[in-house]
Amino acid sequence: MNPTRWITLAVVSAATAMLLLDVTIVYVALPAIQRDLGASFASMQWVIDAYTVALAATLLGAGALADRLGRRVVFAAGLVVFTICSALCGLADSALVLDLARGAQGIGAAAMFAASLAILAQEFQGSERGFALGVWGAITGAALAIGPLVGGLVVDGLSWRWIFLVNVPLGIVLVIATLRALPESRAPTPARLDVAGMALFGAATFLAVLALIRGNEDGWSSAPILVALVGAGLLFVAFVIAERRAEAPMLPLALFRVPAFSGTAVIAFTQSVAIYPLLLFLAIYLQNALGYSPTDAGLRLLPMTLLILAVAPISGTLTGRLPLRIPLAVGLALFGVALLTMRGIDPGDDWTRLLPGLLIGGVAVGTISPALAAAMVAVLPVDRGGLSSGINNTFRQLGIAIGIAGLGAIFGHHAEAATVAGITRGLDAVALIAATVALIGAGVAWPLLGRQRATRPDADREPGTEVLATEPA
C-alpha cells in the first residue's frame, strides 16, 4: 500500500470515528447535562436523536451530492460544518440550543459519513479493500462502543461541554489533511438530487421519533401523539410513492427486489436498534441505580469495547471468504443471546451480573461491523459509491434514532419514578425487546442473504440488476 492510501485510510477512519463517537459519547454525560441545563428526560433523548435523525435523513442526499460535486469536497465540507456545530454544542446554554446544534452537527456528519466508504471503495481494490474495510470497521465499531468511557473521562476530568469542544482542534486538523492529501473522485454521470425524497423522508422520521419520545409524557392517546404517528405513516407512504415516480430517486426501490440487498438492509437497521441504544440505558443503570461516576460507568462497559477491537479485524479478513449471512445473521443472533443474558437483574445485583452479556455482545458487534461495511459498499458499482454508503449508513442511523426513541419510551415507562427498582425493571424490559428485534432481524435476513458474498459488481452492470455475486448453493 502506497503512503497516499495509508493517509486516506487514516483520515477517513479518524473522521468517521469522531462522528460516530458523538453518537455514544454523550450517553454517560446525559445526567450531568440534564442537571446543568435543568432539562427533562425527553429533552435529553433529543441530544442523541436530533443528531441521529438529521444524520439518517440527509445521508442519502449527501451521497448523491458527493457523487456529483466530488467526494473529497463533500467530505471536507461536512467536516467544517461538524466542527463549527461541535463548538456551538459545547457553548450551549439551554437544552433547546443544544438540541438544535446537535441537529445541524448531524447534517455535517451525514456529509462525512456518506463520502467515507465511497472514498475507500475508490482508492482500494481487491484484497487491499478487504483490509481497508476491516480497519475501518474495527475503528468505527470501537468508536461507538468506547464512547461511554471517553465521555466519562471527559465529564469527570473537565465537564460535559468538552465532549463536544474536543472535536474542534481535531476537526481543524482533519480538514487540512483532507484538502492536502485525499484524492478527489466523482461519478461520471451523477444522479439528480432528489429534494422531494429527502424532505419527505426527513419529515416522516422526525414525526415518528417525536411521537415515540413524547408518548409517555403527553399520553399515547393524546391528540398531538396520534397526529404525529399518523402523519409519520402518511409521509412514509408519500415518500415511497415519490421514489417510485422520481427519475433519479435517492433510494432506488428496485434494489429491494434483490434478496441479498434487502437482507443486508434488515441487518443494518435491526442491529442498530438492538445494539447502540442499549449502551445509553446501561450507562443510566450504572450511574443512577448503582451509583457509579461517569468514568466508572464507562470503565464497566470496556470489556465489550476490547472484544470489538479484537474481533473486528478477524471478521474483516474472513468476510470475503464466507457467505455474508455467517458474520451478519449469526453475529446479530449472537447479540440477541447477549441481551437475554442481561435479563433478570435484581436491584441488589452488582455490575458483574452484566459481564457475560457484555463479553458475548463484544464478539457479536466485532463480527458484524466490518462485514456490514463490506456488504453495503459492494452493492453498487464504484461510480455510485456515494449512494451505496449512504444507503448503508442511513439504515444504521435510522435504527439508532428509532431505537433510542422507542426503547427510551419503554425504559421511561418502567423507570419513571427513578428508583433503583424502576431503573432495573426498565433495563430488563429494554433488553427483552432489543433481543427480540435482534433475533427476528437475524431470522429474516438469513434466507434473504442466502450464500451471497460481498463482491462488487462490474462497473458496466445495470445498477440494481445484480448487486452481489452468487455462490452456488
Which three-class secondary structure string do you get for 10-48?
Answer: HHHHHHHHHHHHHHHCCCCCHHHHHHHHCCCHHHHHHHH
What is the Rg, in whole angstroms, of the alpha carbon atoms belonging to the chain?
Answer: 21
Cβ atoms of 264 and 376 within 8 Å: the answer is yes
Under the banding of pLDDT at 50, 70 and 90, the label for residue 89 is very high
Most confident stretch, 6-20, 55-69, 407-421? 6-20
Distance CA 109, CA 28 (A): 21
Please count the CA atoms within 13 angstroms of the CA of 168 that sit on its side-chain side. 14
Q: Which residues contact 11 (CB under 8 A, 6 or more apart)?
A: 174, 177, 178, 181, 182
C-alpha cell at 299: 470503565
Whether the pLDDT of residue 85 is over 90: the answer is: yes
Q: Is 464 left (phi over 0), alpha (psi -120 to 50) or beta?
A: left
Most confident stretch, 153-157, 233-237, 319-323, 421-425? 233-237
Residue with the bigger pLDDT between 377 and 302: it is: 302
Residue indicated by cell numbers 419527505: 200
Q: Residue 467: exposed, middle, or buried by beta-carbon count in 10 A (0-12, 13-18, 19+)?
A: buried
pLDDT attached to residue 82: 93
pLDDT 10s digits, 6-49:
788 888 888 888 887 887 788 778 888 888 888 777 777 788 88
pLDDT attached to residue 116: 79
Cβ atoms of 326 and 274 within 8 Å: the answer is no
pLDDT attached to residue 220: 78
pLDDT attached to residue 418: 66
Under the banding of pLDDT at 50, 70 and 90, the label for residue 347 is confident
pLDDT attached to residue 467: 39
pLDDT attached to residue 458: 41
Share of the chain above pLDDT 90, in %: 13
pLDDT attached to residue 463: 39
C-alpha cell at 425: 425493571
Bridge-partner residues for 470, per DSSP?
452
pTM above 0.85, yes or no: no
Q: Which residues contact 404 (CB under 8 A, 6 or more apart)?
A: 45, 48, 49, 52, 277, 280
Distance CA 21, CA 10 (A): 16
Whether the pLDDT of residue 333 is over 90: the answer is: yes
pLDDT attached to residue 210: 82
Whether the pLDDT of residue 239 is over 50: the answer is: yes
pLDDT attached to residue 469: 37
| Phi and psi torsions of 240, nearest 5° | -60, -45
pLDDT attached to residue 438: 92
For 70-105, b/e burial (b = at least 16 CB within 10 A) is bbbbbbbbbbbbbbbbbbbbbebeebeebbbbbbbb
Cβ atoms of 67 and 186 within 8 Å: the answer is yes
pLDDT 10s digits, 249-290:
877 787 788 787 888 889 889 988 888 778 888 888 888 888
The H-assigned helical ranges of 92-166 are 95-123, 126-157, 162-165
Cβ atoms of 343 and 446 within 8 Å: the answer is no
C-alpha cell at 210: 417525536
The H-assigned helical ranges of 246-384 are 259-284, 294-300, 302-319, 325, 331-341, 355-377
Whether the pLDDT of residue 461 is over 60: the answer is: no
Distance CA 49, CA 46 (A): 5
Q: Which residues contact 343 (CB under 8 A, 6 or more apart)?
A: 428, 431, 432, 435
Whether the pLDDT of residue 194 is over 80: the answer is: no
Distance CA 236, CA 199 (A): 11
pLDDT attached to residue 272: 86
Distance CA 418, CA 10 (A): 43
pLDDT attached to residue 472: 31
Instruction: State the average pLDDT over residues 410-422.
Output: 75
Whether the pLDDT of residue 227 is over 80: the answer is: yes
User: Mean pLDDT in the chain?
Assistant: 80
How distant, in Å, are the alpha carbons of 63, 284, 368, 380, 434 from that of 270?
22, 22, 12, 22, 9
pLDDT attached to residue 187: 63
Under the banding of pLDDT at 50, 70 and 90, the label for residue 384 is low
Whether the pLDDT of residue 124 is over 50: the answer is: yes
Q: Is 82 left (phi over 0), alpha (psi -120 to 50) or beta?
A: alpha
Distance CA 15, CA 24 (A): 15
C-alpha cell at 243: 421514489
Distance CA 13, CA 7 (A): 10
- The H or E element spanning position 5 is helix 3-24
Residue with the bigger pLDDT between 215 and 166: it is: 166
Cβ atoms of 324 and 375 within 8 Å: the answer is yes
Q: Which residues contact 413 (CB under 8 A, 6 or more apart)?
A: 216, 426, 429
Q: How far apart are the first and last CA of the chain?
A: 35
Residue indicated by cell numbers 465511497: 118
